[in-house]
Amino acid sequence: MKKVVLCAAALLFGTVGFAQMNDSDVFQDGNGNASSVLQSGLMNVSDVDQIGDNNDSEVEQFGTTNDSDVDQIGNNNQFYTTQDGTSNTSVTYQEGNGNQGGGTGLIWGTYQSGSDNLAYTTSLGDGNNAGTRQAGADNVSDIYQFGVGNVANGGLWGVYQTGNENDADVDQLGNNNVVDNLRQDGLQNQFKITQTGDSNTASSFQQGERNLGGGGSLIWGINQEGNNNTATNSSIGNDNNSGTGQYGDMNVSAIEQVGDMNDANGGFFGNYQVGDMNSAYIGQFGDLNDAQNTSIGNENIANATQDGDENISTANQTGDLNESYVAQDGFNNMSDVDQIGNSNLSNVSQNGTQHMSVVLQTGNGNSSTVTQND
């Protein structure tokens, strides 16, 4: 067993010019190893490689243009990376089972404070935990997990970004995976969560203006492919965009938006479900909202609730035993419901001025009720 522990904190006692050019390299091969690196200054670089079991790594960098790379291969490993400054980059790779991106003891996986930060976390195995916290502008967070029972991030956050124009991307391949909390506070933030497998859960929360659940570059907000998946999107602010796509059976999706000119999710999907016994809900509160529900399969339920002005709701369902509920409160609202199949039920209630409702049902046993009030 080979154990090498280097601490860059000792370099701080050198000259200022030397402190600004620190470089730390730690390599460990064996079981029960621990590594701690502390860097303060500019243009610091830290590289930690751990191969074995029960490794523990902690890297702290303070300054500008820092770079950290942590690789862990084994089981029950933990990593903790803190970067404070500008243009920092953190890359973490974990391979094994029970690895922690922070966990209960180390609090988080990657923490970055500043601007133009990049965080990439990859976990291959089962029961892994990864988290990223970023504060600043133009930050990018990317978490990739492959296995069963992975979490991003239990008890604290999956991705938490505070600032403007941040991007968050979480990809999970496997079953029983959880994106516990993807949160963005600020302006013009974007996120994308992709889960492939069964019994996965994803939740997102955006607060600010012009945030996008996907957007032009990241395509969607939450996309789940499998069975028994659950997705929840929440947006508070103006000009927000959120979308959910689910493929499989017994999926559940909920989107809530509070603010003006919200869209869930124009041009791609606002709830899009393919399979049986699906349930979709979109709630929008504000002005100029747009909602979309599309369900393909059996026993689907699509529910859109809009409170505000100039709302537009469209629900398209193809299959059997579909139900669509649309309630609009305000003026200049429009609702379009198309159901093709058997035993469909549509109920549209509009309260205000200049409402418009079009319901087309093709099949047997369909029932439609439209109420308009001034």
For the cut 70, the answer to whether the pLDDT of residue 357 exceeds it is yes
Between 178-182, 201-205, 293-297, the lowest mean confidence (pLDDT) is in: 178-182
Predicted pLDDT at 340: 92
Q: How far apart are CA 202 and CA 122, in angstroms?
A: 18
Q: For residue 14, is pLDDT > 70?
A: no
Report the range of poorest mean pLDDT among 3-12, 42-51, 338-347. 3-12
From residue 165, alpha-carbon distances to 135, 140, 142, 157, 248 in Å are 11, 9, 15, 19, 33
Assess whether pLDDT exceeds 80 at residue 19.
no
Confidence label for 15 from pLDDT (cuts 50, 70 and 90): very low
Contact 191, 204 (CB under 8 A): yes
pLDDT value, residue 88: 85
Percent of the chain with pLDDT over 70: 89
The pLDDT, as a whole number, for residue 107 is 59
- Among the residue ranges 8-22, 153-167, 217-231, 264-278, the one predicted with the least confidence is 8-22
What's the whole-number mean pLDDT along residues 245-273?
A: 81
CA distance 201 to 254: 12
Q: Which residues pair with residue 238 across a beta bridge?
A: 209
- Three-state SS at 225: strand
Q: Each residue of 116-162: pLDDT tens digit?
A: 889 999 988 888 788 888 888 888 999 998 988 888 875 566 788 89
In sequence order, what DSSP letters do the residues of 32-85 get, joined into one string? S-EEEEEEEEES-EEEEEEESSS-EEEEEEEEES-EEEEEEESSS-EEEEEEES
pLDDT at 216 over 90: no
- Work out the average pLDDT over 11-19: 35
Q: Which residue has the higher pLDDT, 26 or 7?
A: 26
What phi-psi label fits residue 208: left (phi over 0), alpha (psi between -120 and 50 degrees) or beta?
Answer: left
pLDDT band for position 10 (50/70/90)?
A: very low
| Residue 323: predicted pLDDT | 92
Q: Using pLDDT thresholds of 50, 70 and 90, give the confidence band for residue 3.
A: very low
SS3 per-residue string spanning 119-143: EEEEEECCCCECCEEEEEECCEEEE
How far is it, in rounded angstroms, from Cα 52 to Cα 124?
A: 15
Residues in the chain: 374
Domain ranges for the chain: 8-373
